[in-house]
Amino acid sequence: MSNAKAAALDWVEANRPDWSAWTRTIWDFGETAWREYRSVDFYVDLLTSEGFSVEKGSGGMPTAFCAVWENGPGPTIGGYAEYDGVPGNCQAADTVKRPREGLSPHAGGHTDPHSALGTGALAGFLAAKHAMEKHGLKGRLKFLGEPAEKLRGSKPIHAARGYYDDLDAAISFHPFYMLPLCNTVRWDTHCGAAYAMVYSFTCDAPESWLAAASASPIPAAHAEPRAPGANDAVVQMYLSGKALKEHLAGTGVSWSMSEAILAMGQATADNIPAAMAQIQYIMRVPTLEMAEHITKGLDHYADCAARLAHCSWRRDWVSKSRPGLANHVMARATYGNLEAVGAPRFEGEAVRLAQEMQRSLGLEQMEAPYLPAISELIAPEEAEHRLRRILPPSQTHFTSDDYTDYCWHAPTVRLYVGRPALRPARPGHAYPAWVMNALGGLSPCIDPMIEVAGKTIAATILDLVTDDALLAAAKAEFIERTGGGVGGRHWIPPLADYDPPIHFRWPEYVTTVRGREWVVPTAPWDGA
């Protein structure tokens, strides 16, 4: 191991109290897509104090940032933090099921958890920076804040607005979320495309639905029939979307689509049709062609629903992200560093907390309560082999994540590190979702993953800024796969031809005369 790598790994270990506290801070914020106000301020202040030049609000997104640190001329290595949580997953950092103090169970919380994703990547970049300063290594680190990943939100916009154009290589890290992608890197089968959009229905002229009675002083009096309105349009759209999924089930590929009603109805009484309602869709598909085909179907259903409910409609883009692009050179180098660091170990207090969780669920406490795979390495080729078992031979991409937009601008690696997950009590047993969420907020449980991620990322950055042959080989593979690099015959350009969708009614924390609460009012919590 080089002296620079040793210095970087020592930095990660010495600064454990700091990055552990950072993780818990972001986890406790529990902010959700496009509304990560406290989280972005935390990152911006921290990176500024570490000597980075930081642009807040990059790409026209208030909760995004772009931070740059330079130590003389050299390669530019990119990476990023995510920090958005998920509505409806407000779990306390505890061994029992309960929401965070003073909040509804329906408030936001971290599931993956992006709280540890962001600080794991940050620890790696800060450790590399320390080693570069100490040993006089030249290069440039570019660390971006990527909000709204759950909606595939910021990366397509950053890509389209040029933020990745100067990268020589990029490192993407994510906590493990499915086997066999745990303590490994992606090989050939990268994430696919994702489209997300909001359909808005408005009932602007309800009086033209049916003529009002001659004796009525206002259209649609209480005894008169009224226009169905925007709520009805959303309901029709929702049902039609379910039918679309059924009709495409026989395509022979693995894909998914989910929906969320953002706004529905404005009246609490009276015989007034809802004037506006919105529904959001996000699809995770292998190819852009499939995404375009599904979008045409949704547009058709939106038009039909609007006609039925006497409304007009429009579609606004939330995301259009590209499918991923492999880079074996980057994958081998990163996995080599992961092998040198070793898989995370979950011991001591982490075991005690896991056993306490099992006891609270009425299960027998295990001597070794964690899933074995989270502490085992798996070579990328073997992980690829196992992953392909569940996919048809023709499917080249699987699941989705918008790190894929980095792949088209520089050689990119996708790293997965084991996060705490409990061993099933018996074959076929599944723990409730709150268990894994809570483990992401308990420092003794999540810190081993962050340590391994930080060390692996730091070591890979140092390889890229010191090994000219490695970086040249990664770039050569990138050029070959894109048919000539950026703009090559196989290259896919950025798809975000829309403005950041920040003005929709995204779920968020609000401040009222009752204090700070979630958009869904806090109800008494009885532990049920």
- CA dist 178 and 245 (Å) reads 23
Helix-strand-coil split of the chain, %, nearest 5: 40, 20, 40
Q: What is the pLDDT of residues 357-386, one digit of tens each?
A: 999 999 999 999 999 999 999 999 999 999
pLDDT value, residue 31: 97
Residue 295: exposure state from Cβ atoms within 10 A (0-12, 13-18, ≥19): middle
Look up residue 113 and give its two tokens.
Answer: 């958890």
Looking at the chain, the domain(s) classified CATH 3.30.70.360 span 194-212+223-322
* Helices 443-466 and 16-29, axial angle in degrees (round to 10): 110
As a whole number of angstroms, the distance between CA 381 and CA 522 comes to: 48
Q: Which residues of the chain have pLDDT under 50?
A: 528
CATH 3.40.630.10 boundaries in the chain: 3-191+323-482
pLDDT of residue 525: 54
Residue 311: both structure tokens together: 């409304």
Give the span between the Cα atoms of 234 and 231, in whole angstroms.
5
| pLDDT given for residue 161 in this prediction | 98
Q: For residue 244, how many other CB atoms are within 10 A of its CB? A: 17
CATH entry 3.30.70.360 includes domain 194-212+223-322: yes
Q: 275-330 pLDDT, tens per residue?
A: 999 999 999 999 999 999 999 999 999 999 999 999 999 999 999 999 999 999 99
pLDDT at 519: 83
CA distance 371 to 411: 32
Token pair for 102: 């003073």
Both tokens of 201, joined, read 């229905």
At 478, list the tokens. Answer: 């990138």
In CATH terms, the superfamily for domain 3-191+323-482 is Zn peptidases (3.40.630.10)
Q: Please state, as a whole number, how many other Cβ atoms lie within 10 Å of the Cβ of residue 55.
A: 16
Q: What is the pLDDT of residue 518?
A: 87
As a whole-number percent, the residues of the chain with pLDDT over 90 amount to 83
Which residue in this structure is represented by tokens 């050179």? 329
Q: For residue 512, what pLDDT is reported?
A: 83
The pLDDT score that the predictor gives to residue 212 is 53
**Is the backbone of residue 98 left (phi > 0), alpha (psi -120 to 50) or beta?**
beta
pTM score: 0.94
